Structure 1
Amino acid sequence: MLLRNKARRISLLRYWTTRYAITLALGLLVLAMLSVVWIRHTTLENRLDVSEFLAAELAGRIAGSQQDEEGSTESAYLDQDMLDARDELMKMESPPSIFITDAGGTILSAGDQDLYKESSFPSVVLEKKSDVQTFSGLSNGAIVYLIKKPIIVDDVTFGWVVMLQQEDEFADLNDEYRLLALLIIGSGLLGWAAIYILSRRLARPISAAAAAAKEIRNGNYGVSLIPSKAKEQEVYDLVTSFNDMAVRLEQLESIRAELLAGVTHELKTPVTSISGLLQAVKDDVVTGEEAKEFITISLKETERMQTMINDLLEFNTFAANALPVSTAPHELNDLTRGIVHEWNLARNPDDIPVHFQPYERDLIVLTDPDRFRQIMMNLLNNAAHAIENSGQMTVTVKNEDACALIDVSDTGIGIPESEKTLIFERFYRGENKKYKVRGLGLGLPFSQLLARAMDGDLELKETSPLGTTFTLKTKKQD
């Protein structure tokens, strides 16, 4: 199935150009058909109108001649100059046959007797009200257009000017069709060329991005696309975002390898320590009180390792959406004050106390108190670790329009500029904490996940060598 689907795939350039060509061809074909109908109709109407006008003009001239030369039959013949002008105007290869008859329909003069060889026209044809009609009185049974105009002198009809033209010859539109075909073909070629050029221009950066993605898939993160030639905003965004992604992946891969080694070391160290201490007790290297002290140290190391493993399991469970969060209304000042008091009670006398600054009035927020406590304890632990000798820790509750804020500040050494974008990465530990504080680097990422699960957020507000402030946002009750 995979091979079959792969065989059906075609390049973007071919996909767009072929489908556009088919769509364009169908569209132009429909347009051509409609244009043929329209051209045939309008041209036929125009030629009929011109023929009718010229027949009336010729009848008028003959009538004028009849008035000047009463009783003369010579004046009833055709004006050749006028006929030539008519043929030029109508642009027909085979001009109509023109007949001049008397009042009864007897033909007095004919421009072309090959089309109609009778000596007169039926009176029923001449007496019809319509000046333009179809006529089937030919010997070969062909259908022709008949245009008639009366020759009137002093309100008396002396005769008729009759024009005959075969239907297919009257609707002869070869020049118009050739022009239409030229326009349709030219439009089709121009449209296909335009979409080919545009598709090719669009396909190039996409193809380059696909090739670069394959390189990244194979572990080569050093690829880079050139965005300078991309004038389209979307293509430029694609190329620059891809380059940023490649750089980011290279950084994360390097961090992943380093952090994996760090996590392995963190878990291996207590195991090695416990193994050595217990082996010493087992082999009677130490006895009595010293052996008890070795066992106590082993138990502490076991507890520390168990804490790290529990953190890892809890983080993975929450990341998989298997750890529920239940929010309910709580007063933020009281909730935060209780956590700060609990923290201060659990510290040694030499530890730095936390100063609490509540908001001036009650703030009701929607939060899970257990998860909220986890976040605050983690932030307070990090703040305490950042202070090397003496300093200050402060928790401040603030209010904004959309949410309530809890700032956790310290006067520690701050976070280096190069680590600001990495502190919320899983398993990341900064250089200042890597060898000073033992852990897996899951505290801040886990706290941020908890905050977002409660429709809030956790952000690094500011940091400098003078201290750091983290801001926990919580959703207020409507």
Structure 2
Amino acid sequence: MGRRMNTASLLSYWTFRYLLILCIGLLVVASAAVLWVRQTTMDDRMRMMGLLSQEIADRVSGDGSMPDVSPALDDLIAKRKRFFNLNDELCVTITGDGGLLLYNDRTLSPEEIRKRLNDDLSAPADPDIVTVSTPIVNDGGKTIGHVTLLQSKKALTYIPNENRLLAILLIGIAVLGWLTIYLLSRKLSRPIRQVAEAARQVSGGSYDIRLEGEWREREIGELIGSFKEMTSRLKQLEEWRSLMMAGITHELKTPVTSVIGLVHAVREGVVKEKEADEFLDIALKETERLQTMIADLLDYDALAAGFVKVRRDRLDAGALIAEIVHQWNVMQGEEGCEAVLEPTEPGMTIWGDPLRIQQIVVNLLNNSNQAKAPDRPLNIAVSLVSGGWFVEVAVTDNGYGIGESEREFVFERFFRGERKRQRIRGLGLGLTFSRMLARAQGGDLLLLHSSDEGSRFALRLPMHPSASDKAT
């Protein structure tokens, strides 16, 4: 036995996978967004630091050889940090010629500043530090010092508010996306669960199912409608199967019972001489009828299992049907109804098995003969018509016809109409077997119409290519 695969419900299966894909996608988007925001923030702050550095350099420049550092510079730098929204870790230094440290805003001590900058305090010595340096030029155009702003890269790209907002947005999108797919999957899985439960009921033999709800989706509505129709059909077929099996049992049991009774009467001497011979003749006819029914069952099973070989010969349709109708008329004798073959056009050539075609046409003729209406003489007409890829052999009678409620089931196995069950014994396999033979030859058997005025069946057989070329 194979290992049973672990399965999950449609709802959990798709919601989990959608959430997983959504989270991976949002993670990629979040990573790209964070990198972009950090880079943009860093560029903006570097620009702000450059503006601040330039403003300070302009304020401390003069006409002397050293920068003019005012005591009010601390207050100015504090205001500009708040205005430009710069981090408190930003350190401002002013150096004179030769790297002499003239000013720092006490964010870092002089010793820490010298560790993080180069010798002239104008460039970073620490790779984690970013600096912006602006030369201080006096009125004579000579560089008399530098204003250097230094800050760590981490502090430069630190954006807590933006990160929180991005996290809230991504979490909100993930929750909203999961909720959407959850509700959609739940809505789609509900009718499927109902159909699955109904299918379990049907497999258990219960056909009284109820599928409630209104479905706006066309595919779901078609699924529910098709399942209801299938269940109704199965229920009807199951009821008919029970009735047909009871009928078959009765049909097979009746001749056996008759034969036993007749033979027993002869054996016990209840009847003698001429009457005994008559009893034996009746028993022989019942035996032949029983043999025919058993042969029908065997033929049907053999064809359904694919054991019957069907030939595909090139045949003259007109000559073949004429011979079949003639033989059937001869078998009817003087008291039987005579089938009339209507004039046909010559040269209609078909593919098929002559023996199987004869079986089908004879069965149609026998059915027409059995459908004789009591209030009028029976007329049976056989006609041949070519149409496109096929030749149609139509058998038409003016019998009592087939009831409207029974017409769609005439080709079902073991189905027999109410009138036929009352008048004639049989198993209800004739039309089923005939259609199977027709389709095995590449054709079909159809009921074209039926009413109280009679019925018309059509056997369609594939036309030989040479004949179809002539027809076109």
TM-score class, shorter: 0.7 to 0.9
1:191 aligns with 2:177: yes
Q: Which moved more, 1:421-430 or 1:288-297?
A: 288-297
1:215 aligns with 2:215: no
- Give me the TM-score of the superposition, normalised by structure 2: 0.85
Residues 355/324 of structure 1: CA separation in 2 closer, same or farther (3 Å cut): same
Q: What is aligned with 1:471?
A: 458
Task: Name the amino acid aligned to 2:104.
Answer: A
1:398 paired residue among 365, 382, 385: 385
- Where in structure 2 are the equivalents of 1:290-329 lying within 5 Å? 290-329=275-314
Give the drift of 1:64: 5.6
Distance 1:99 1:75 in 2: 11
Distance 1:375 1:85 in 2: 105
- Where in structure 2 are the equivalents of 1:13-412 lying within 5 Å? 13-17=11-15, 19-20=16-17, 24-25=19-20, 27-29=22-24, 31-32=26-27, 35-36=30-31, 38-58=32-52, 60-61=54-55, 70-71=63-64, 73-74=67-68, 84=79, 91=85, 93-102=87-96, 104-114=98-108, 116-118=112-114, 122=118, 126=122, 135-137=124-126, 143-151=128-136, 157-226=143-212, 228-357=213-342, 359-388=344-373, 389-412=376-399
Query: Once the two structures are superposed, what CA deviation does each residue of 1:80-118 show, in whole Å capped at 9, x if it has no partner?
Result: 6687566555x5544522334446444444344416433
Give the drift of 1:210: 3.0
- Contact 2:58-2:136 at 8 Å conserved across structures: no
Taking only the aligned residue pairs, the percentage that are identical comes to 36
What is the RMSD computed on CA atoms of the aligned residues? 3.2
Residues 169/120 of structure 1: CA separation in 2 closer, same or farther (3 Å cut): closer
- Contact 1:224-1:246 at 8 Å conserved across structures: no
SS at match of 1:165: strand
Distance 2:420 2:146 in 1: 115
Task: Name the amino acid aligned to 2:392.
Answer: L
Distance 2:224 2:89 in 1: 67
Give the drift of 1:422: 1.5
Residue ranges of structure 1 left out of the alignment (5+ in a row):
127-132
- Contact 2:117-2:125 at 8 Å conserved across structures: no
Give the drift of 1:468: 1.0
SS at match of 2:409: coil
Distance 1:452 1:329 in 2: 17
1:437 paired residue among 411, 419, 424: 424
Give the drift of 1:349: 2.5
- Contact 2:396-2:454 at 8 Å conserved across structures: yes
Task: Name the amino acid aligned to 1:70.
Answer: D
Q: What is aligned with 1:129?
A: none
- Contact 2:57-2:134 at 8 Å conserved across structures: no
2:435 paired residue among 445, 448, 468: 448
Residues 356/105 of structure 1: CA separation in 2 closer, same or farther (3 Å cut): farther
Give the drift of 1:146: 1.9
Residues 272/144 of structure 1: CA separation in 2 closer, same or farther (3 Å cut): same
Task: Name the amino acid aligned to 1:219.
Answer: G
- Contact 1:221-1:246 at 8 Å conserved across structures: yes
Query: Once the two structures are superposed, what CA deviation does each residue of 1:62-86 show, in whole Å capped at 9, x if it has no partner?
Result: 666678x533844788696687566
Residues 433/114 of structure 1: CA separation in 2 closer, same or farther (3 Å cut): same
Residues 384/161 of structure 1: CA separation in 2 closer, same or farther (3 Å cut): farther
Give the drift of 1:264: 1.2
- Contact 1:107-1:121 at 8 Å conserved across structures: no
Residues 198/47 of structure 1: CA separation in 2 closer, same or farther (3 Å cut): closer
